[in-house]
């Protein structure tokens, strides 16, 4: 297989997902990973395995992409460990990956990481519960996201949490 052939397999697979050959997709991505070492292919293979409910393989390829400092992998690994999608909730690992993602990611990925980090302080997961820090994090994130561009941004979740904070402060008009 050549790099061009592998990329053609990817193109064909994504053009016709309903009839796409998952085996060939995996072969092409594994070839591209081995030959290019590009973390976006590791990430893409992780997504394939997530869609087929092979969380162990999703985690494997996300960890591989994270070794290359690939930001989107940090966010997704954070969620795997936060919700225990691999069978084990691990708030320490989730916190570490969300923290890396908040630093390395851009756009939506960064916002989702920041949003989840705030939840750690609100719930006292892995870190000491700190409502002041939670409020400041949500307020800062809300300020950054005042004019969301995409439906995939966590703006509704952040706005909802900020409204709850304002209600707790008896500041109903700003809720």
CA distance linking residue 142 with residue 162, whole number of Å? 8
Contacts of 163 (CB under 8 A, 6+ apart): 175
What are the CA-CA distances from residue 136 to residues 54, 90, 122, 143 (Å)? 37, 25, 11, 11
At 102 the pLDDT is 95
Question: What are phi and psi for residue 147, nearest 5 degrees?
Answer: -120, 80
**94-139 pLDDT, tens digit each:** 999 999 999 998 888 899 999 999 999 999 999 999 999 999 999 9
At 172 the pLDDT is 84
pTM: 0.88
At 18 the pLDDT is 59
């Amino acid at each position: 297989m050549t790099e061009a052939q592998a990329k053609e397999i990817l193109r064909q697979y994504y053009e016709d997902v309903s009839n796409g050959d998952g085996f060939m997709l995996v072969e092409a991505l594994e070839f591209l990973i081995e030959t290019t070492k590009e973390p976006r292919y590791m990430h893409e293979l992780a997504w394939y395995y997530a869609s087929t409910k092979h969380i162990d393989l999703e985690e494997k390829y996300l960890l591989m992409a994270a070794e290359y400092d690939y930001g989107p992998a940090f966010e997704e690994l954070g969620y795997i460990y936060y919700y225990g999608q691999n069978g084990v909730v691990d708030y320490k690992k989730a916190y570490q990956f969300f923290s890396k993602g908040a630093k390395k990611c851009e756009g939506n990925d960064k916002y989702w990481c920041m949003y989840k980090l705030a939840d750690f302080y609100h719930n006292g997961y892995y870190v000491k519960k700190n409502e002041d820090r939670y409020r400041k994090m949500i307020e800062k994130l809300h300020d950054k996201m005042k004019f969301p561009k995409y439906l995939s941004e966590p703006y509704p979740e952040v706005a909802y949490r900020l409204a709850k904070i304002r209600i707790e402060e008896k500041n109903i008009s700003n809720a």
